[in-house]
Amino acid sequence: MKITSARLIVCSPDRNFVTLRIDTDEGIYGLGDGTLNGRELAVAAYLQDHVLDCLIGRDPRNTEDIWQYLYRGAYWRRGPVTMSAIAAVDVALWDIKAKALNTPLYNLLGGKSREGVLVYTHANGATVEQAVESVHQHMEEGYLAVRAQCSVPGLAGGYGVPKGSKPYEPAERGLPSEGLWSSERYLNTVPELFEKIRLSAGADVHLLHDVHHRLTPIEAARLGKSLEPYHLFWMEDPCPAELQEGFELIRRHTVTPIATGEVFNSVWDAHDLIRNQWIDYIRTTVVHGGGITALRKLADFSALYHVRTGFHGATDLSPVTMAAALHLGLAIHNLGIQEHMPHSALTDEVFPHHYTFQAGYMHPGEAPGLGVEIDEALAAQYPYQRAYLPIARKLDGTLTDW
Ligand code: CS2
Ligand code: MG
C-alpha cells in the first residue's frame, strides 16, 4: 500500500479546525486532526509547506517509522505546532491501517479493556448557584462526572464561564480579548462552590475543577487542602507546569488528586511529574501530543507510576481527536477519564461520526478505523476565521495566565 496524496481541509463550523486527509493507492483514506486553538494556520503551514510532500510513496502502515521520520527528521524537536502536525499525520495513518484491516482502531491498540469510557462534562455558571444548577442538569443528562467552574464575584466572565446563552467556546474571533483576574477572590470562591455542590448533588457524582494554570504552587496547595472535604476527582492545572518540581510542593500539602498536561506535547514535559508521582492524571491528548503512536507510549510510561489518563477533550479538539481518544481510552489499562465537551450540532454535521454517549460513558463505535468522516462540501461553506484565546491581567494590570 502506498500514500498517493495528502491534503488539508481547514474549516470553521462555529470554530476553526485543521483536518488532514491522506489517500492511498488502494482507495483507502484516513483523517487526522491538526487543530491548535488560536494558532491553527501555523500547523496547516507546517504540514503543507514542510511535511505532506515527504509522505507520498510511503507505506501508510509504517506508523512507527513515519512518526520517527517526522520527529527526528525535522531536527527541531517538540513544541505544540510540530507535534500537532505529526499527530495529524499519525492519526490519519492509524485510520488507514485499521480500515485496511476492516476493524475498529481500538483492536489495534490492545482491544477492549472495558465496555465504555467514563467521561466528564462541563458545568458552569456566572454564580455559585447557577453552577450548582448546571451540575444537576448534566447529572440528569446521565453524566457520572462533572467539572464545575463559576465566575469570581466582581470579575465578569473568566475562564470556563460562557458569555450569554451560547455554550462555552473560549476562542473568540477578532483580536484577543482581555479580562481581569484575582487569585485571592478565586481562592475564597471555589471552596464555597464545591461545598454547595456536594450538599446539593450528594457524595457519588465525580466532581472535577480546572484551575487553568492560574495559581502559584503554595496557592494551589491551599486550594487543594480547602477542597479535601468535597473529595474531588481531580484539581486540574493547579499552576503552570514548566517547573515540574513545583508540583512537589502542592503534593506535600494536599491529597486532592492532581491532573495536568493538556498544554504538553511530549512525555518530556511530564517526565518528572509522572516518575515522582507528583500528579495522578496526565491530560496530554492525541492531537497535541504527537498522535496515537506517542500517546500509547505516554500512557504506558504513566502506568508504571500509577498515573492514569485524563485526555483533554475540549471543543477545540475536533471529532477526529475525540474518536482517536475514545479508541485509545477503550484499550489502555490505565484509563482515568475522558473529557467530553460536546461539539456544536453544526460541527457534528461537518464531522459525521460513530462515537456515542450513554449513561455516563462513551464508545468509539464499531466502524473500521476511527469511525469519523468529514463532509467537505459542508465544511467549505465555513471558511477559517482567525480567532484567539483570551488574555488575562491581574487587578493591577500585570499579565497573568488565562
Ligand atoms: C480547558 C480547555 O477543557 C479544558 O480543560 O483547559 O477548554 C482549554 O481552555 C482550551 O482547550 C484552550 O484551547
Ligand atoms: Mg483544562
Q: What's the predicted TM-score (pTM) here?
A: 0.97
Nearest-10 crossing angle of helices 183-201, 128-140: 40
What are the grid coordinates assigned to 212, written together? 487553568
Query: How many angstroms separate the Cα of 53 from the Cα of each of 56, 111, 177?
Result: 6, 33, 37
CATH of 108-368, one of 3.20.20.120, 3.10.20.30, 2.50.20.10, 3.40.50.460: 3.20.20.120
Closest-CA residue to 213 (of 262, 142, 144): 262
Residue 153 has a pLDDT of: 87
Asked if domains 3-104 and 108-368 share a fold, the reply is: no
Q: Which three cell numbers stand for residue 54?
A: 515527504
pLDDT at residue 157 in the model = 66
What pLDDT does 162 receive? 78
159 is catalytic: yes
- Ligand 1 site, CB within 6 A: 37, 170, 210, 212, 262, 312, 314, 316, 339, 341, 389
Residue 353 annotated in active site: no
From 138, 209, 212, 343, active-site residue: 212
pLDDT of residue 155: 87
Domain 3-104 has CATH 3.50.50.60: no
Distance, CA of 31 to CA of 320 (rounded, Å) = 7
The environment of the single-atom ion ligand 2, i.e. residues with CB closer than 5 A, is: 210
Q: Which atom of ligand 1 is nearest to the CA of 159?
A: 9
Query: Where exactly are the structural domains of the chain?
Result: 3-104, 108-368
| Spans of the chain, pLDDT less than 50 | none
